Amino acid sequence: MHNKEEGLEQGLKQGLQQGKLEEKFRTATNLLKMGFDIETISKAVELSREKIQKLSEKNER
């Protein structure tokens, strides 16, 4: 039973981490739409400039 509990705990942690990452991308997208520069967004949401740049390019399409 111990393994089942550990698996559940690990799954919950992964889910929380994924949710936090998705929230960072949503926030970065909103900041891009508001006209903030990539460097500022990168610092604000703690994502790399490269990830923000890719997100910017994706949103331009």
The string of pLDDT tens digits covering residues 7-46 is: 888 988 999 999 999 999 999 999 999 999 999 999 999 9
- Cα–Cα distance list, 16 to 9, 12, 22, 55 (Å): 11, 6, 10, 21
Residue 1 has pLDDT above 60, yes or no: no
What's the alpha-carbon Rg for the chain, to the nearest Å? 16
What's the residue count for the chain?
61
What average pLDDT does the segment 54-60 reach? 89
CA distance 20 to 3: 26
Chain segment 40-56, per-residue pLDDT in tens: 999 999 999 999 999 99
Q: What is the pTM of this model?
A: 0.80
